[in-house]
Amino acid sequence: MSKLSVTGRGQFAGATLGDEIYEHLRKEILLGRLRPNEFLVEAELAERLQVSRTPIRESLQRLAAEGLIVSTHRRWMVYEHTISEIREIYEVRLALEGSAARLACERATDDEIREILQLVNSWPHAMEPGNESRVDHNDRFHTLIVRSAHNKRLSALIEKNQQYYFNKQVALFYNKESIAESQRQHRGIAEAIEARDGDRAEEITRRHVQHALDLIIAHANESS
């Protein structure tokens, strides 16, 4: 685990030390640096991050409230979701992001649509599996669509549903063929939004999310 810098907080500027530690540990889980079933020991974390145990304890309690870690045998452990739970989470994602795409067709401004199309057209330079730029482009694409739906409650629900570690790690399961298919789906979604075709935008979005779920399940089956 990387050492936590408390002097140059960057995106955590103005946050308390507890907030910074919480965000740091949360990111470590979401990016898979802290693995499912890995134990989190207060004393060890405090030593690694060079802080006292109090903000560590508070941060772990917040992570537990989010469902990212659980207490077992009086120790904290990164939670590993079952296949059934992952299916349920992605069923929710299908509904939420499909609705966001439909609403974007109705509510997106011309400038927002132009930004989505420009992003899609910039992707050929980021096609390699595991390419961080590709992952960033993907996240940006979905963020733009949700923002274009202009529904704060829907946006909050989607953001909450994205907190699970496998949503970030799924990018590692893509090969060149699945990346190409994902990009075709992204382009189809963008063009449907440009055409204000809500039915098509929702249908492609749901197919796109199902594609990610299929990759997660296939990887889980190979690992079991």
Q: How many residues does the chain have?
A: 224
Count of CB atoms within 10 A of residue 167's CB? 18
Give yes or no for residue 11 having a pLDDT over 50: no
Q: What is the pLDDT of residues 70-81, one digit of tens each?
A: 998 889 999 988
Q: Which two tokens stand for residue 197?
A: 């075709």
Model pTM greater than 0.85?
A: no
- Sorted by where each starts, the structural domains of the chain and their CATH numbers stand as 10-78 (1.10.10.10), 83-223 (1.20.120.530)
DSSP string, 9-40: -GGGTT--HHHHHHHHHHHHHHTTSS-TT-EE
Could you tell me whether strands 75-78 and 39-40 are parallel, antiparallel, or unpaired per DSSP bridges? antiparallel
Of the two residues 163 and 151, the one the predictor is more confident about is 151
Question: What's the whole-number average pLDDT of the chain?
Answer: 87
Q: Is 144 exposed, middle or buried (0-12, 13-18, 19+ CB in 10 A)?
A: buried
With bands split at pLDDT 50, 70 and 90, how would you rate the model's confidence at 12?
Answer: very low
Q: Residue 9's pLDDT is what?
A: 40
pLDDT digits (tens, 9 = 90+) for 164-177: 767 666 766 778 88
Q: What is the mean pLDDT of residues 139-149?
A: 96
Average pLDDT over residues 2-11: 44
Can you tell me the distance from the alpha carbon of 88 to that of 98, in angstroms, rounded to the nearest whole number? 15
In single-letter form, the type of residue at position 212 comes to A
DSSP alpha helix (H) spans, the chain: 17-30, 42-49, 53-66, 83-107, 110-121, 132-148, 152-161, 165-169, 176-194, 198-223
